[in-house]
């Protein structure tokens, strides 16, 4: 069973994140598992367990939102009635857990639909009343994917180039389902195939129809000796790569 770390939520994604440990927050300690949920025609419902590892009761509220990405690959959320879930508010006793049941009203057709179930801790009223206490509402967003019958991953790399010493490439999702990029690995190779420079950028989910640009600075010394620029996508079930030939004048 995986557990989610609320602390990472604050630093990485506006109080939302994915992690695998529990963290003692001011309002208490809690974990969420699993850290994602996949639904389809054969699995129309699922459960999310919220556990309390502390010594005091914790109150929570749950909320589902539609998850989309714009042309630049930025995440956007909006209210939705597409999912059925309960309870929406609940209390977890010390060293116990409660489950939130989730199901979808209508199956996805040709393209996968993505949602997030946000589980947010409700700070204790006594803590809120203390002027000297800074209370932070910690919440965790569990990705929920309603998958279509066809689930082929289609990742493409476009526009790999070097301009003024800056390498860049666009990753596009042209398939019906999401994929998660664990890394975008750039390499500059010499004439004999020697790696003159390499750099890996952190990836993220890419939803159907979305694209995201990745770029990095190629050091001048490596740029002058490199003859080939290559980029590889790292991630489960990803097999996309691209390369272009370089010219010294592209380094200026």
Q: Verify that 130 and 223 share a domain, yes or no.
A: no
- Is there a domain that residue 1 lies in? no
Here the tokens at position 172 are 């596009």
Which pLDDT value is given to residue 6?
A: 38
Q: Verify that 219 and 137 share a domain, yes or no.
A: no
Q: Verify that 168 and 141 share a domain, yes or no.
A: no
Give DSSP secondary structure letters for 133-193: ------EEEEEEEE--S-----EEEEEEEEETTEEEEEEEE-SSS-EE-SEEEEEEE-TTS
H-assigned helices in the chain: 6-12, 125-129, 220-225
Q: Verify that 206 and 172 share a domain, yes or no.
A: yes
What is the tens place of the pLDDT at every residue in 78-129?
Answer: 999 999 999 999 999 999 999 999 999 877 678 999 999 999 999 875 554 4
What is the tens place of the pLDDT at every residue in 178-226?
Answer: 999 999 999 999 999 999 999 999 999 999 999 999 999 999 999 999 9
Q: Verify that 122 and 160 share a domain, yes or no.
A: no
Q: Which residues contact 169 (CB under 8 A, 6 or more apart)?
A: 157, 158, 159, 160, 161, 184, 186, 213, 214, 215, 231, 242
Domain count for the chain, please give it: 2
Which pLDDT value is given to residue 48?
A: 96
Q: Verify that 209 and 133 share a domain, yes or no.
A: no
Q: CB count, 10 Å around CB of 41?
A: 11
Q: Give the residue among 137, 210, 140, 199 at the shortest CA–CA distance from 171.
A: 210
Q: Which residues contact 249 (CB under 8 A, 6 or more apart)?
A: none
CATH number of the domain at 201, please: 2.60.40.10
- Is there a domain that residue 78 lies in? yes
Q: Which domain holds residue 180?
A: 155-251
Q: Give the residue among 5, 85, 16 at the shortest CA–CA distance from 45.
A: 85
Q: Verify that 159 and 116 share a domain, yes or no.
A: no
Here the tokens at position 239 are 């097999």
């Amino acid at each position: 069973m995986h557990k989610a770390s609320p602390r990472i939520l604050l630093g990485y994604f506006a109080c939302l994140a994915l992690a695998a440990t529990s963290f003692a927050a001011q309002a208490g300690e809690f974990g969420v598992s699993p850290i994602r949920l996949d639904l389809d025609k054969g699995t129309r419902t699922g459960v999310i367990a919220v556990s309390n590892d502390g010594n005091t009761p914790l109150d929570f509220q749950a909320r589902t939102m539609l998850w989309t990405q714009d042309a630049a690959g930025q995440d956007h959320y909006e209210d939705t009635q597409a999912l059925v879930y309960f309870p929406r508010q609940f209390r977890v006793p010390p060293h116990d857990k409660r489950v939130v049941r989730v199901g979808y009203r209508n199956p996805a057709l040709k393209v996968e639909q993505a949602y997030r179930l946000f589980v947010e801790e409700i700070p204790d009223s006594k803590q809120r009343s203390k002027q000297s206490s800074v209370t932070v509402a910690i919440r965790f967003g569990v990705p929920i994917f309603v998958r279509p019958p066809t689930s082929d991953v289609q990742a493409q790399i476009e526009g790999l180039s070097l301009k003024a010493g800056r390498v860049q490439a666009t990753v596009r999702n042209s398939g019906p389902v999401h994929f998660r990029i664990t890394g975008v690995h750039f390499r500059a190779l010499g004439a004999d195939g020697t790696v003159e420079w390499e750099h890996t950028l952190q990836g993220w989910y890419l939803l159907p129809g979305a694209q995201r640009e990745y770029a990095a600075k190629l050091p001048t010394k490596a740029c002058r000796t490199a003859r080939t620029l290559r980029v590889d996508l790292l991630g489960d079930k990803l097999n996309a790569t691209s390369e272009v030939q370089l010219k010294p004048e592209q380094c200026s």
